[in-house]
Structure 1
Amino acid sequence: MGKQQDVGGSDRHTGSSATAQRATETSSDARLALAQDPATPQMTLFDLASDPSAAVRKAVAARTDAPAQALRPLTRDHDRQVREAVARNPSTSVGNLLRLVKDADRWIRWAVAGNPGCDESVRRVMSEAPDKELRGLLAERRDLEPDLAARLIDDVSPEVRERLATHTHDPDVITALMADRTARVRKGVARNPRTTAEQRSALAQDPVVDVRAALVRTVELAEADLERLVDDRSVQVRLAMATSDLVPPHIRQALGRDSDETVADAARDYRPASGNSPVVRAPRVGHRRSATSQGRPGRAAR
């Protein structure tokens, strides 16, 4: 069914049908079955929305065909599971989502963030919310409006900016966050597969170890950057390279001769990932594998 219409009028319509009368006279199990029955008339759902049983009200809250006005009082229900069911209902009206995005319970606010009906008006409220996690969930959205992304670039929370840096598809946002003074934000940029080769080269020279280590674990790099990082002063960075699925065989072979035994052993003992790796692959530039190279891609010669 399509999106619910949030129209004016009272929060509850009282039906006088025989079905509505049965809803008030039967056991809670019977009323729950009625709330879950697709054939139950919508007018009866208004009565069931004020049922004394939270299970019945939750069943109404989860119905995608429930009228917006039947769900409206449930956005203020004293039972948090009922309110969360409304927040997760993909047919919940924008008006009801706007009420729930300000709910005192954080889990309900976060459920609104994942609702497919979370439109621009709801996202704008999220961008101004004091809830850091809510703003972080907003930062991860691919459909984020440019002006909201620009606002989050200057968010007071480094975590929010980091999540924006990791997930954004906007090249202007990536460029802005490359210059962020907080290392964890630049680390987020390093994990973003939509960075350019030039940006990756700059990140490969970042003064913070965690940024360089995140870079080699997550995206493919140009040959010049790889050769520089093989001799990185940080064991952590070289170890990240030795165990990265994205490092080509000839670089891993060089790491197998590393002065640090932990790095050398990791490079020699490397095996390709099972396919469950969280690594995000991106096109690697600047290196073409020789036709005479030995071994499989991503695996050191033994």
Structure 2
Amino acid sequence: MDHVLCGLAANPALSAELVDRLISVADDHIAASLAGRADLSRTQAVALAERVEGSAVRLAYEGRLTAVDIDPSVRPDAALALFDQGVGRPEWARLLAADPVRERREKLAACPGLPADVVDRLAADPDVRVVAELASWTVPEMAARLAAHPHAEVRRAVAGNESTPPGILAALLKGEGLPTARHCLVCDREQIPFVHDRQCARLDCDLPAGASCDGSHESTVNAMVKAALRNPATPVEAVVGFVDHPSMLVRWTLAARPDLPRQICARLASDTGPGVRADLAENPALDDDLIRLLARDRDPEVRRRLAHHPRVPLDVLTHVARTARTGAVLLPRIAAASSTEVEELATSPDPVARVLVARRRDLPPDIRDRLADDADAKVVKALAPHPGLTDAQLRAMADRHGVSVLAGVAANPDVSPALLEDLVRHEPAVRKVFREVARHRRATDTALLVCLTDGRARPVAAGHPALPVPVIEELLADADWRVVEAAAANPSLPPAVAADLVHRR
């Protein structure tokens, strides 16, 4: 792979003439970079597709190639990309439905707006995987028809299709009103009873791990049940009976449904499976009593997930945040807090509450400034990237709290170039600071040169337009290919140097 040319192909400052030159010598890797260019013309897109067949699919998805540019008999995959966006020609569908490559028929079956005769043909495809793919995406009428298909894999797909009529989904769950399935992928291939070894070493085997059949197609039926439980179109009265299902995975799937009655949520809140309770903890169907119950759960993952519940009371959220790792993210309940609640959190004597609200990036100036002077380093660390802080405030935060807040200060959009230079020279060094500075729009050449000394920041800094030109040229020969590509893609690379690199290869 020529990493210099791959980088140049992504360089936004490259002239149209040099783009044409790269197209003429492109391989798969160079073509991948060229196909992502915002300035690629239709003529260039057509030329690139002719040069590198594999690029046609991406170009079609990005709208660079249209139906007038594609011959489906020559570029069937690109034609399928247009069908996937609903802009393929009907006559193409008839051609592609007869394609000898199963994967293409399968891809076609997932496309919207297919002619009725093509849908009928795909529904009768000799490969059940094609029929199952159709069943996953088709319209209600066809979904209802395929629910009675003799193959359990097709029924599993119907169960996951949100267009399937609710009555059909209920019938699939209850196993009533439909003829018994006669086949599954397991008994199609193996002598039953059979359980697929989870460590199967057969290179030609594509059965799911643990797939099994004793004549009842049990693993596929189990997958069908879970698909129907996940499907929001399945009537809630059809799913509640699975609250005591012997399979924890089935109960786990049920716990995520946002339309569960209160009594079902209460049963799941005491489930023996921590994964069940964890998924339930984020469920908007929970009332305050169940939220408070789960806040005392012995499993830290349950409490962590509860922190992401959109309606968790603030006192519960603060309690949970003390006992579980909630991550350095703005939690939904904090994002939705009223101005009064923001004020209460910011003035709370509990630093955990102040940390939570400090992660907002739309704080009123008076609250933002008050938190900037907070005595707790964790509060200041959470606030440091907040826009609107002055350079004096950011310097004071760095001086007062040191290494714990430096990366946040470096990530602040309003930090001054001079402070960025000071941050990369800080002793002891904070490696994350180098990465933040390397991508900062205000970084100076002085700061970027220091960032180049850090292995993880080096590829980022190599692409920064403020880097001195001689350094960019030197990095084109770097031992790290990521640095080479970033330097070649740097818009500050002189046009003459770019031209020389292209014409020398």
TM range (shorter): 0.5 to 0.7
Correspondent of 2:270 among 54, 76, 92: 76
1:165 corresponding residue in structure 2 = 358
Q: 2:343, 2:300 → 1: CA distance?
A: 22
TM-fit CA distance, 1:129: 4.5
1:123 corresponding residue in structure 2 = 314
| Equivalent AA in structure 1 for residue 376 of structure 2 | T
1:298 aligns with 2:298: no
Correspondent of 2:257 among 60, 63, 72: 63
Q: 2:323, 2:385 → 1: CA distance?
A: 21
Correspondent of 2:387 among 185, 188, 193: 193
The percentage of counterpart residues that share the same residue type is: 21
| Equivalent AA in structure 1 for residue 335 of structure 2 | R
Q: CA contact under 8 A between 2:342 and 2:357: conserved in structure 1?
A: no
With over 3 angstroms needed to count, the CA separation of the structure-2 counterparts of 1:156 and 1:166, relative to structure 1, is same
Deviations 1:182-222 (A, max 9, x none): 34443433333342455335446x24442456423543434
TM-fit CA distance, 1:74: 0.9
| Equivalent AA in structure 1 for residue 307 of structure 2 | A
Q: 1:264, 1:193 → 2: CA distance?
A: 23
2:371 is paired with a residue whose SS is helix
Q: 2:451, 2:263 → 1: CA distance?
A: 66
Q: CA contact under 8 A between 2:300 and 2:323: conserved in structure 1?
A: no
Q: 1:46, 1:178 → 2: CA distance?
A: 50
Q: 1:230, 1:20 → 2: CA distance?
A: 60
| Equivalent AA in structure 2 for residue 165 of structure 1 | A
* TM-score computed with the length of structure 2 as normaliser: 0.38
2:439 corresponding residue in structure 1 = 245
2:307 corresponding residue in structure 1 = 113
Q: CA contact under 8 A between 1:94 and 1:122: conserved in structure 2?
A: yes
| Equivalent AA in structure 2 for residue 125 of structure 1 | V
Q: How many residues align?
A: 249
Q: Tell me which protein shows more helix as a share of its residues.
A: 2
Q: List alignment gaps of at least 5 residues for structure 1.
A: 1-17, 257-261, 276-295
With over 3 angstroms needed to count, the CA separation of the structure-2 counterparts of 1:47 and 1:67, relative to structure 1, is same
* Rg (Cα) greater in structure: 2
Q: CA contact under 8 A between 2:358 and 2:371: conserved in structure 1?
A: yes
1:9-28 mapped onto 2 (5 Å cutoff): none
Q: 1:129, 1:213 → 2: CA distance?
A: 26
With over 3 angstroms needed to count, the CA separation of the structure-2 counterparts of 1:19 and 1:54, relative to structure 1, is same
| Equivalent AA in structure 1 for residue 358 of structure 2 | A
1:53 aligns with 2:247: yes
Q: 1:98, 1:49 → 2: CA distance?
A: 21
With over 3 angstroms needed to count, the CA separation of the structure-2 counterparts of 1:81 and 1:197, relative to structure 1, is same
1:215 is paired with a residue whose SS is helix
Q: 1:61, 1:241 → 2: CA distance?
A: 40
Q: CA contact under 8 A between 1:75 and 1:86: conserved in structure 2?
A: yes
2:336 corresponding residue in structure 1 = 143
Correspondent of 1:221 among 401, 415, 419: 415
* TM-score computed with the length of structure 1 as normaliser: 0.58
| Equivalent AA in structure 1 for residue 466 of structure 2 | G
1:133 corresponding residue in structure 2 = 324
Q: CA contact under 8 A between 2:346 and 2:357: conserved in structure 1?
A: yes
Q: 2:441, 2:237 → 1: CA distance?
A: 63
